[in-house]
Amino acid sequence: MMASQLITLNINMALINLSKSDYIKGLQCPKALWFSKNQRDLKLPLDEQTKSKFESGNEINDLARQYFLGGVKAADDYFDISKAVTSTKNLISQNHEIIFEATAQIENDGSHARIDILRKSDGKNGWDLIEVKGSTSQKPSHLNDLSFQYHVFVEAGYKINNTLVMLLNNDYVFDDKLDIGQLFKLEDITQEVIEGQEEVRLHKDNLQKSLKGKLEPKVKIGAKCFEKDGHHPECDFKHHCWKNVPEYSIFNVTTRKKTAETIIDEIDSYEVNDIDVSNYEKGIKELDIICYQTNKTHIDKEKLSEFVSDLKYPLYFLDYETFQLPIPIFQRARPYQQIPFQFSLHIQEKPNQELSHFEFLHQEKSDPRKDFIQSLINNCGDNGSIIVYHESFEKTINKQLARDFPEYSESLLNLNKRVIDLMVPFQKKYIYSPKQQSSNSIKKVLPAFTDLSYQNLEIKSGGDAMSIYADFIKGKINLDEDLIKNLLEYCKLDTYAMVKLLQKIVKFSQK
Ligand code: SF4
């Protein structure tokens, strides 16, 4: 390279180079991108669930490579971009037709992208870009992702014919051996990617400009702070930007986060106490606001009585725990299928009678479903209401079990006919306490109406139980005595919580 060329390149490299992750982050929020470049220490360390999602992503990527026979990897060092770019070019010059982690870089600004699979187009001059995603359907972020990749590869001089997203196929049913051809499906999004190229240039330009600023860009908090960025359920910097927002704020009492943004602008406050409900006809949770401002519990005695009158003794309070794996390992299971491994069952034969309790936890590293079904059917009797919290979960599991184990189908579907959803009185606001903070989750409802809570348990959520059990099934941990005790205690509280909440509902319905 001549000296004058070198100088030009260095000047241009002063332009901000963006990676694909930078671009996606910046689309969500330019301030998040600015923080990630300039104040990395603000970012919280990854939690266990996010780490586990990364691990699953790597596992899926490794399997996806088996789909493309004869592929070679461009580079191992994730951070050495120029080495990966050179390696990609070398592999192409050696006539390789499938390159994993192929990397391209735009000369004039250094922006770069690494594609999971670069494949020589069938019968054409040029290449296909294929990005592997660990989901079963397309998401808007996939299009953004591939649009940026396409931009970089084309600007770097590649002729790109097709862009495809590679997803897990949720119609695939595992038999006794993993069928890679069936596990994945390819979806062509070339047209949408090409149509979005002008927008990519515009966004990229804006992001590069905002990154040049010495101060973070001015961006208001709002709906974007909750948008999923690949693996994260909310923005990495929410703890920082939201530090002045109370735990219960206007964001909790509107039906859309966008409405919250408008109200906050209008009244210049995050406080629920500062909303005048008479100014808003739509988009707010009026009852929640009034209950909070007056510190009163709302009770619709008539509706509660109707709900109670539908109950038939004996009452079976039932709750399931499940886990899911992106890649199925049990026969008759699909990608991400919820596999039940545990249930808790409190039974009350007659009003005011003592409770009996039964629990099931599969402790072998094998498919829990058959034992789960048998135990469930044996213990749920033939009549009486089966009370669950958020019925679509247990009912869906029962339907899937009925589909996958047709020999038990009739009994399982009969259980569904007896289900009563205890969440309904809270969801439909037959009863509402300001302590619920606009949530119907049993984790919020239980402490709002009783002295009980999940706070003192070792396992505090279904998500925790799910990750622990998935780790056990994958052989990463053993189910020792403590873990068994913790899993049983957590699930038991879910059904005992329902017993206590129903007692409250009955009491309020009679007042
Ligand atoms: S918390 Fe919201 S405003 Fe702050 S950086 Fe993240 S997305 Fe942007």
Query: Do the Cβ atoms of 146 and 129 come closer than 8 Å?
Result: yes
Residue 223 lies in a domain: no
Please, which pLDDT band fits residue 233 given cuts at 50, 70 and 90? low
* Ligand 1 center–CA 163 separation, angstroms: 30
Residue 68, pLDDT > 80, answer yes
91 CB within 6 A, ligand 1: no
- With bands split at pLDDT 50, 70 and 90, how would you rate the model's confidence at 120? very high
Identify whether 216 is part of a domain.
Answer: no
- 8 pLDDT above the threshold of 90: no
Q: Whose CA is nearest to atom 7 of ligand 1?
A: 225
Within this chain, do residues 280 and 350 fall inside the same structural domain, yes or no? no
Probe residue for ligand 1, chosen from 221, 257, 264 as the CB with the greatest number of ligand atoms within 8 Å: 221
Q: Is the CB of 505 under 6 A from ligand 1?
A: no
Residue 395 lies in a domain: yes
pLDDT at 11: 38
CA of 170 relative to ligand 1 center, distance in Å? 33
For the segment 275-304, the average pLDDT, to the nearest whole number, is: 95
Q: Is 287 in the same domain as 317?
A: no
Residue 146 lies in a domain: yes
Query: Would you state the pLDDT for residue 96?
Result: 97
The pLDDT confidence band at residue 256, using thresholds 50, 70 and 90, is confident
The pLDDT value given to residue 390 = 98
Tens-place pLDDT, residues 405-444: 999 999 999 999 999 999 999 999 999 999 999 999 999 9
**Is 299 a pocket residue for ligand 1 (Cβ < 6 Å)?**
no
What was the pLDDT predicted at 12?
44
Number of structural domains in the chain: 3
Same domain as 291, residue 360: no
Tell me the average pLDDT across 358-386: 97
Looking up residue 318, the CATH number of its domain turns out to be: 3.30.420.10
Q: Average pLDDT in the 272-285 region? A: 94
Same domain, 292 and 430: no
Mean pLDDT, all residues of the chain: 93
pLDDT for 302 equals 96
Q: How far is CA 366 from CA 83, 227, 250, 254, in A?
A: 44, 36, 47, 45
What mean pLDDT do residues 105-132 have?
95
| Span from the CA of 241 to the centroid of ligand 1 (angstroms) | 6
Q: Are residues 412 and 484 in the same domain?
A: yes
Share of the chain above pLDDT 90, in %: 85
Q: Which residues are CB-contacts of 441 (< 8 A; sequence separation ≥ 6)?
A: none
Task: Looking at the CA of residue 35, tell me the nearest atom of ligand 1.
Answer: 5
* Cβ neighbours of residue 152 closer than 8 Å, sequence gap 6 or more: 20, 104, 105, 106, 111, 112, 113
> Does ligand 1 lie within 6 Å of residue 32's CB atom?
yes
- Mean pLDDT calculated for residue range 253-279: 93
Asked if the structure places residue 225 within a domain, the reply is no
| Distances, alpha carbon 144 to alpha carbons 49, 119, 195, in Å | 24, 20, 12
Determine the pLDDT at residue 7: 39
pLDDT (0 to 100) of residue 76: 77
Question: Do the Cβ atoms of 390 and 325 come closer than 8 Å?
Answer: no
Same domain, 394 and 379: yes
- The alpha-carbon radius of gyration of the chain (Å, integer) is 27
Distance from residue 219's CA to the centre of ligand 1 (Å): 7
Is ligand 1 within 6 A of the CB of residue 241? Answer: yes
Residue from 22, 29, 261 whose mutation best tests the ligand 1 pocket (most atoms within 8 A of CB): 29
Indicate which CATH number applies to the domain containing 121: 3.90.320
CB 458 within 8 A of CB 311: no
Domain final residue, candidates 296, 328, 361:
296
Say whether both 489 and 390 belong to one domain.
yes
Q: Please report whether residue 237 resides in a domain.
A: no
Rounded Cα–Cα distance for residues 390 and 420 (Å): 9
pLDDT of residue 240: 95
Query: What is the rounded (10 degree) CA torsion for 19, 21, 25, 27?
Result: 60
Show which of 211, 226, 259 is a domain's final residue.
Answer: 211
Is residue 128 a part of any domain in this protein?
yes
Give yes or no for residue 33 CB within 6 A of ligand 1: no
pLDDT at 27: 92
> Do 48 and 84 have their domain in common?
yes
Ligand 1 centroid, distance to 51 Cα (angstroms)? 21
Kindly indicate the confidence band of residue 26, based on its pLDDT and cuts at 50, 70 and 90.
Answer: very high
Give the residue, out of 40, 238, 243, with the most ligand 1 atoms within 8 A of its beta carbon, to mutate for a pocket test.
238
Q: Is the domain of 323 the same as that of 472?
A: yes
- Yes or no: say if 125 and 140 are a contact pair by the CB < 8 Å rule: no
Q: Do both 182 and 38 map to the same domain?
A: yes
Q: What is the domain range of residue 486?
A: 302-510
Q: Which atom of ligand 1 is nearest to the CA of 224?
A: 7
Report if residue 234 sits inside a domain: no
How many Å lie between the centroid of ligand 1 and the Cα of residue 221?
6
One domain, residues 38 and 120: yes
State mean pLDDT over 281-309: 96
Q: Does the C-beta of 25 come closer than 6 Å to ligand 1?
A: no
Same domain, 283 and 177: no
d(CA 377, CA 235): 43
pTM across the whole model: 0.90
Q: Which atom of ligand 1 is nearest to the CA of 236?
A: 6
- For the chain, what percent of residues have pLDDT higher than 70? 96
Q: Is 34 in the pocket of ligand 1 (CB under 6 A)?
A: no
Domain closes at, from 186, 211, 236:
211
What's the CA-to-centroid distance between 240 and ligand 1, angstroms? 8
Going from the Cα of 37 to the center of ligand 1, the distance in angstroms, rounded, reads 14
- For residue 14, the model assigns a pLDDT of 56
